[in-house]
Amino acid sequence: GYMLLGIALATEAGVAAALVHVFNHALMKAALFMAVGCIVLRLGSTRLPAYYGLIRRMPWTATAFLFSGLSLVGVPLTVGFVSKFYLLTAAFEAGWWPAGLLIVASSLLAVAYVGRVAFPMLLGTPPAEGPYAGEVKEAPLSMLVPLWVMTAANIYFGISATFVGDVAEAAAAALIIGGGAS
53 within 8 A of 105, measured Cβ to Cβ: no
Quick one: pLDDT at residue 181? 46
CA distances 112 to 22, 72, 76, 138, Å, are: 23, 11, 17, 27
**Rounded average pLDDT per 10-residue block, the chain, 182 residues:** 87 92 93 95 89 93 95 93 94 92 92 93 88 87 97 94 89 78 45
Packing angle between helix 162-180 and helix 79-93, nearest 10 degrees? 40
Provide the 8-state DSSP code for 45.
-
Collect all residues with Cβ–Cβ distance below 8 Å to 170 and sequence separation of at least 6.
none
How many residues are recorded in the chain? 182
